[in-house]
Amino acid sequence: MSNVAIEKKTATRSLVKGLIAGLIGGIAGAAAKHVAEKIYPPRVKGEPVPPEVLAQRVAGGTLTTGEKQAAGESVHWLFGASAGAVYGGVAEYYPQATSKEGASFGLVLATVTHEGVLPAIGLVTTPQKQSQREQTSEMTSHIVYGVVTEIVRSVVRKML
């Protein structure tokens, strides 16, 4: 690749455009993850849902079922959009982050959250104590999230 081509490619990078494209992709990915979890839920009815548990802790008091659900949904969408934005920004400067059409991003996100951070702060059990269903559902729905996020991010980024 010539120096001119490298300079031109570098000049077209934009953190802001990457963040915007990733944000939009992350929202679409969160919607797809939500649908995937309706088809293949990670938990049986009645088991605590991590975003709802987090909302309850942040509130510092008892929330009604409706408040927990609303807060849990808010956490889900906010996290999905935020993770997508970060991903979009990283993809601008490190295109390898988009490997496997976003599936790698989804798997890394699942590993960091559901096998690392969430058990560490007590929102889910450790991976060794999680059911096979929970583990496979979380990995599957995160792959769906990553792939949809990447597809939408790349389309939106081309439009910007």
pLDDT tens-digit map of 101-120: 999 999 999 999 988 998 89
CA atoms within a 13 Å half-sphere pointing along the CA-CB vector of 76: 23
For 120-158, the pLDDT digits (tens) are 988 888 888 888 888 999 999 999 999 999 999 999 999
How many other C-beta atoms can be found within 10 angstroms of the C-beta atom of residue 84? 31
The C-alpha atoms of residue 149 and residue 30 are separated, in whole angstroms, by 8
User: How many distinct helices (H) and strands (E) make up the chain?
Assistant: 7, 0
pLDDT digits (tens, 9 = 90+) for 36-93: 999 998 887 767 788 888 888 888 878 888 888 888 889 899 999 999 999 999 999 9
CB 71 within 8 A of CB 55: yes
Other beta carbons within 10 Å of 48: 13
Alpha helix (H) ranges present in 12-131?
A: 15-39, 50-59, 65-93, 103-112, 118-120
Task: Give the tokens for residue 154.
Answer: 């790349």
Structure confidence at residue 11 as a pLDDT band (50, 70, 90)? low
State if pTM tops 0.85: yes
What average pLDDT does the chain have? 88
